[in-house]
């Protein structure tokens, strides 16, 4: 039963990524999964519920949360490099699905709200990390500003890559350089007076 559900989700992911939410039919998804449409609807109330579960399974679990709870070293460079790489890996694995969501402008679904709650949880854990680093004297920036600066730079780069769609691979050289610059600013406080 669990394998059938997983097969349906995997088939749905392929078709949603290829065709988009509106064009992919439950009949095609069922055929690709090797089940009947009736079986598909035993597992999912409707196509929207199937899409929501498919998107949820692509974007979770958050590796960042696990890292902050289980593996954090409190070495700013090591930790932020690992977190940024986890963000990048999640993005790369799910770029086609993310493009489809952006293209089809699918918004405000229940799993999207659940994802936002989980993102808020990760946000709070990252903030707690930056607060701890500040209290240990390893971060010169205000923790709230450090969090915004770090997340904005990483996600901004990833979103630019998502929208550009110029190649299948990210510019790893730029990503590494940018990450080094972000970490240097957070460690040393350089550039704090350069904003308008």
Distance (Å) of CA 34 to CA 17, 27, 39, 80, 128: 19, 11, 10, 43, 46
- Phi and psi at 126, nearest 5°, equal -65, -40
Distance (Å) of CA 189 to CA 132, 140, 143, 152, 195: 17, 5, 12, 17, 13
Alpha-carbon span 41 to 35, nearest angstrom? 10
Which among 118, 91, 188 has a CA at the least distance from the CA of 83?
A: 91
pLDDT of residue 196: 33
pLDDT of residue 117: 60
Q: Count CB atoms within 10 A of the CB of residue 189.
A: 13
> Quick one: DSSP state of residue 194?
-
pLDDT of residue 36: 96
Which among 86, 110, 93, 115 has a CA at the least distance from the CA of 13?
A: 93
Output the tens digit of pLDDT for each of the chain's 196 residues.
Answer: 789 999 999 999 999 988 888 889 999 999 999 999 999 999 999 999 998 888 877 766 567 888 888 999 999 999 999 999 988 888 888 888 887 777 665 544 444 555 566 667 788 999 999 999 999 999 988 999 999 999 999 989 988 887 776 555 678 899 999 999 999 999 886 544 443 3
pLDDT of residue 195: 37
Q: Count CB atoms within 10 A of the CB of residue 157.
A: 21
Alpha-carbon span 10 to 102, nearest angstrom? 20
Which among 147, 17, 183 has a CA at the least distance from the CA of 95?
A: 17
pLDDT of residue 114: 54
Q: Is 137 exposed, middle or buried (0-12, 13-18, 19+ CB in 10 A)?
A: exposed
């Amino acid at each position: 039963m669990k394998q059938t559900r997983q097969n349906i989700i995997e088939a749905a992911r392929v078709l949603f990524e290829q065709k988009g939410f509106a064009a992919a039919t439950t009949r095609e998804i069922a055929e690709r999964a090797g089940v009947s449409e009736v079986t598909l609807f035993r597992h999912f109330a409707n196509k929207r519920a199937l899409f929501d579960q498919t998107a949820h399974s692509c974007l979770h679990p958050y590796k960042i949360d696990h890292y902050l709870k289980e593996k954090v070293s409190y070495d700013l460079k090591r930790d932020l490099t690992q977190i940024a790489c986890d963000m990048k890996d999640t993005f790369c694995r799910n770029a086609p699905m993310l493009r489809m969501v952006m293209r089809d402008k699918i918004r405000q679904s229940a799993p999207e709200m659940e994802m936002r709650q989980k993102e808020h949880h990760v946000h709070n854990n990252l903030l707690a990390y930056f607060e701890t680093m500040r209290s240990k004297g390893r971060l010169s920036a205000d923790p709230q500003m450090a969090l915004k600066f770090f997340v904005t730079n990483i996600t901004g780069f990833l979103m630019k890559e998502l929208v550009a769609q110029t190649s299948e691979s990210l510019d790893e050289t730029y990503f590494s350089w940018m990450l080094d610059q972000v970490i240097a600013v957070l460690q040393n406080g350089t550039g704090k007076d350069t904003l308008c």
